[in-house]
């Protein structure tokens, strides 16, 4: 039976996977800001990266190195090393080379990751000086400190874990994520790392990761901005001793995929719940769409509307803003008299008309909740999608106005 909790005691160690954390002082002294991850030889590694064409230097290198035989992740916060040109690429190479030398592996086996301020050169010496401390801190039960070590404007570390038993063997899946702003992934989230002790064939793991990404990290948005540094990585160590999973066609594969998806969704939703200045966790469901793309277009148009988001922050049941957002969604066809909209279970629009029996009081009760469902039926087909988002508050503006100060 799978178990999981937001409490850090429930984020279980994964056999064959280790994490080390150090305080490098990259941007602020006295905080964890450098993380090293390592796994047993023979593990499978998969990843997806941002589609932002101004991708960060570490993303550029990690994409190239993923196809080899990765053995280490090197992650820093406080500096994104994005928009830094050839100097940024050289810096990422220099820091990964330092780790490789100390760990006794080839530089191509180190995948670098960065998050933080864009457009500033990476303080290479500061980072390199802290790598020995991170290596000396390597242990399997270091998930909490690692989650702290990748935070930027996050207010809390984010972790998730599941365990399940199959034929007498217990399997573990654990992970961490970070992100609170510049969140509208086009592949993953800002940074997320998951490890499992199950054995999974590399190409199957990569294909599986793509599917799970679309069901989790590619279904969240806070502000509609896709980061330059988005990366989502999964490592399967094989330390549980099972025959490598090569397809979905087994009971073990089914259990593993369900639990891996659950961890990914929880980590993705944790980012939304910690959205910069957020006071509401909002689910937008679109059903009876002509296609999945139409469903997503409508959902994101509603989720990205500043007028909808500010109404959510104000607890204002001004449902005309939702209606207007649906109407301007860029889909091939929208038949107005087939559209219905709900706030939780309260109908606000019924087949293009104000819902009979709707009252402002009923709408207000829903808008006062910390978690809100906006459900939209297009009456055009059988496709359905769901995304998760936040409101837009004064605090979001303040955080981002003062981000570098």
Any idea which residues carry the catalytic annotation? Answer: 189
What is the spatial distance between Cα 308 and Cα 69, in angstroms, rounded to a whole number?
46
Helix (H/G/I), strand (E/B), else coil: 139: strand
What is the spatial distance between Cα 51 and Cα 158, in angstroms, rounded to a whole number?
24
* Ordered DSSP codes for 50-114: ---TT--HHHHHHHHHTTS---EEEEEESB---S-HHHHHHHHHHHHHHHHHHHTS-GGGEEEEE
The string over 290-311, giving b where at least 16 C-beta atoms fall within 10 Å of a residue's C-beta and e elsewhere, is beeebbbbbbbbbbbbeebbbb
CA 91 to chain centroid, in Å, comes to 26
Contact 338, 351 (CB under 8 A): yes
Sorted by sequence, the CB contacts under 8 Å of residue 312 that are 6+ apart come out as 280, 282, 367, 372, 390, 391, 392
Query: The tokens of 201 are what?
Result: 């064939």
Query: The tokens of 334 are what?
Result: 């929208």
Q: Give the pairing of strands 34-39 and 44-49.
A: unpaired
For the beta carbon of residue 337, count every other beta carbon within 10 angstroms.
10
Residue among 120, 268, 135, 131 nearest 191 (CA): 268
User: Which residues is 382 bridged to in the sheet?
Assistant: none
* Ordered DSSP codes for 155-170: SS-EEEEEEEEETTEE
Helix (H/G/I), strand (E/B), else coil: 145: helix
Residue among 177, 174, 171, 176 nearest 200 (CA): 171
Query: The tokens of 158 are what?
Result: 């984010």
């Amino acid at each position: 039976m799978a178990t999981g909790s937001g409490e850090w005691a429930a984020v279980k160690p994964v056999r064959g996977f280790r994490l080390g954390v150090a305080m490098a002082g990259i941007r602020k002294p006295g905080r964890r800001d450098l993380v090293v991850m390592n796994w047993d030889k023979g593990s499978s590694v998969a990843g997806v990266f941002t589609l932002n064409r101004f991708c960060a230097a570490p993303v550029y290198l990690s994409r190239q190195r993923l196809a080899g035989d990765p053995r280490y992740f090197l992650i820093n916060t406080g500096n994104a090393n994005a928009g830094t040109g050839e100097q940024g690429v050289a810096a990422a190479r220099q820091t990964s080379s330092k780790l490789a030398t100390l760990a006794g592996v080839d530089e191509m086996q180190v995948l670098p990751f960065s998050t933080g301020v864009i457009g500033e050169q990476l303080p290479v010496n500061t980072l390199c000086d802290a790598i020995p401390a991170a290596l000396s801190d390597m242990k399997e039960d270091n998930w909490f400190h690692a989650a702290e070590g990748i935070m930027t404007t996050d207010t809390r570390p984010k972790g998730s874990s599941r365990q399940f038993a199959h034929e007498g063997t217990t399997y573990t899946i654990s992970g961490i994520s970070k992100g609170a702003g510049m969140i509208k992934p086009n592949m993953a989230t800002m940074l997320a790392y998951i490890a499992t002790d199950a054995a999974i064939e590399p190409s199957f793991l990569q294909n599986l990761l793509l599917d799970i990404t679309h069901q989790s990290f590619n279904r969240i948005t806070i502000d509609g901005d896709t980061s330059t540094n988005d990366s989502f990585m999964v490592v399967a160590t094989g330390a549980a001793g099972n025959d490598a999973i090569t397809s979905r066609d087994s009971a073990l594969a089914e259990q593993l995929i369900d639990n891996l998806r659950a961890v990914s969704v929880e980590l993705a939703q944790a980012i939304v719940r910690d959205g910069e200045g957020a006071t509401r966790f909002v689910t937008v469901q679109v059903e009876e769409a002509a296609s999945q793309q139409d469903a997503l277009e409508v959902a994101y148009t509603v989720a990205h509307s500043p007028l909808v988001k500010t109404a959510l922050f104000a607890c204002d049941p001004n449902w005309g803003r939702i209606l207007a957002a649906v109407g301007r969604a860029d889909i091939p066809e929208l038949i107005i008299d087939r559209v219905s909209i709900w706030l939780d279970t309260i109908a606000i629009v019924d087949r293009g008309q104000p819902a009979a029996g709707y009252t402002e009081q009923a709408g207000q009760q829903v808008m006062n909740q910390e978690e809100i469902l906006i459900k939209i039926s297009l009456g055009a087909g059988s496709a359905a999608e769901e995304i998760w988002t936040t409101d837009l508050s004064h605090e979001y503006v303040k955080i981002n106005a003062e981000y570098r100060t």
